Amino acid sequence: QVQLVQSGAEVKKPGASVKVSCKASGYTFTSFSFTWVRQAPGQGLEWMGWISPYNDRTNYAQKFQGRVTMTTDTSTETAYMELRSLRSDDTAVYYCARVVTGYYRGDYWGQGTLVTVSS
């Protein structure tokens, strides 16, 4: 069965970076893309960007351009999202989701990773 398992919670200071991982299993890794979505406490869902493990093509939301990098490692079937220059308003749960190639939807989601930014 398809599973996306994310790394554990992180606490970071303002200005630092965080890298969240998303380990995939149960399907052919390069046949699907990944998207990353975050949710601030008590708020809605916010799309951050998308990456294809097949060709490393990415598309980042304009809000995060220059501050986010999404990568994949086909040898470990893991996707990564790194966010730099963290601010307090980056405190959120970060989700990875599998994307059916050619379709703009996440059909399986990771359990989420809480990133807390606090001095």
Partner 1 sequence: QSVLTQPPSVSGAPGQRVTISCTGSSSNIGAAYDVHWYQQLPGAAPKLLIYGNDNRPSGVPDRFSGSKSGTSASLAITGLQAEDEADYYCQSYDSSLSAWVFGGGTKLTVL
67 belongs to the binding site for partner 1 (CB under 8 A): no
Minimum CB separation of residue 28 from partner 1 in Å reads 19
| Helix (H), strand (E), coil (C) string for 44-60 | CEEEEEEECCCCCCEEE
Stretch that binds partner 1, among 14-22, 69-77, 82-90, 97-105 (CB under 8 A): 97-105
Residue 79 found at the interface with partner 1 (CB under 8 A) = no
For 11, the token pair is 């606490």
Q: Which is nearer to partner 1, 61 or 68 (CB)?
A: 61
- Which pair of tokens denotes residue 38? 């975050």
| Total site size for partner 1, rule CB under 8 A | 22
SS3 state at 106:
strand
What residues have CB less than 8 Å from 66, skipping those under 6 apart? none
Question: Applying CB under 8 A, which residues contact partner 1?
Answer: 35, 37, 44-47, 50, 59, 61-62, 95, 97, 103-112
